[in-house]
Amino acid sequence: MSLLTVGTVAFDDIETPLGKAENVVGGAATYISLAAAHFVQPIQIVSVIGDDFPQETLDLMTSKGINLEGLQVKQGEKSFFWSGRYHDDLNTRDTLITDLNVLATFDPVLPDTYKKTDFVMLGNLTPAVQMRVIEQMEERPKLIALDTMNFWIESALDSLKEVISKIDLLIINDEETRQLTGEYSLVKAAKMIHEMGPRFIAIKKGEHGALLFYDNDVFFAPALPLAEVYDPTGAGDTFAGGLMGYLAGTGDLSFENMKRAIIYGSAMASFCVEAFSIDRLKTLAANDIRTRVQRFVDLVRFDAELHI
């Protein structure tokens, strides 16, 4: 199996209560692919950068089995840039700057080798670009997942709803769920999103874990309680990358396997927040992931013998 992902490959300026990082590597597709590469190969990226993006990061991605054939490089132009400041609770942040740069005119072109991929992760970027990727697939993928952000809910709601109608799994945070549906209850909001198209909905709740909705079933995955969170940037994308990488690697779309995938996604996100930018993902080994997933299992395991 393989996994195709589209999303930003970017530079970020980040400010959190524990520090600042300027002009560091970020972007949805960067985090997604680095997380997913632990579970499935190859990962196929569709994205765009300027000629300012570090070759060292591209080499790192290639070394992890990430295929960059669908990554366009625009000479003389600048990569997507985002800057954000986190509040003390680390679950909320303000976007200070979004400079689309190369993304403003991006027309994704899928190499022929990408067009029959079974698993597609439409990472956060312009909804019209996410749609163009679906349109170029020669066969309907087994599973199409999509992540988005308040920026697109505010600026491109109609085209976002159109692409949501074509997908199987929506990955979205609690605040964006409420913004998208106008409904405060996440249970009612998930029902409304089911009616828009997706069979599965994964709602991320930051340090409070994630919920997976499927028909009338719901599953909860905790987040690992961590003493220090350095930088939550990319945690959502890393969650999506771990989840989709695990699904593509196993090829199993049963609800039971989706539950495992949500736990793998949560485990990957717990690494991401331990350092700024992609730093923790660069050095992650398979054994770190196994140990971390076991901590999740231990975190929620309890004896359910009832005494009443």
Among 41, 98, 250, 257, the residue binding ligand AMP under the rule CB under 6 A is 98
Mark out the alpha helices in 54-114 (DSSP H runs): 55-63
Q: Is 124 in the site for ligand AMP (CB under 6 A)?
A: yes
Q: Which region among 21-29, 221-229, 258-266, 293-301 touches ligand AMP (by CB under 6 A)? A: 21-29
Total binding residues for ligand AMP by CB under 6 A? 17
Measured distance CA(180)–CA(95) in Å, rounded: 18
Asked if residue 3 lies in contact with residue 35, where contact means CB atoms within 8 angstroms, the answer is no
3-state secondary structure 113-171: HHCCCCEEEECCCCHHHHHHHHHHCCCCCCEEEEECCHHHHHHCHHHHHHHHCCCCEEE
Nearest to 145 by CA among 107, 118, 175, 115: 118
* Closer CB to ligand AMP, 156 or 253, in the complex: 156
Residue ranges in 149-188 that form contacts with ligand AMP under rule CB under 6 A: 149, 151
d(CA 20, CA 43): 30
Q: How many Cβ atoms sit within 10 Å of the Cβ of residue 165?
A: 11
Q: Closest Cα to residue 80, out of 159, 175, 131, 6?
A: 6
When binding is defined by CB under 6 A, the residue of 50, 127, 234, 242 that contacts ligand AMP is: 234
| Listed ranges 161-169, 175-183, 194-202, 231-239: which one lies at the site for ligand AMP (CB under 6 A) | 231-239
Q: Which span sits near ligand AMP by CB under 6 A: 5-13, 192-200, 206-214, 218-226?
A: 5-13
Binding mask 279-308 for ligand AMP (x = CB under 6 A): ------------------------------
Among 12, 174, 176, 231, contact with ligand AMP (rule: CB under 6 A): 12
- Residues making contact with ligand AMP (CB under 6 A): 8, 10, 12, 26-28, 82, 98, 124-125, 149, 151, 233-237
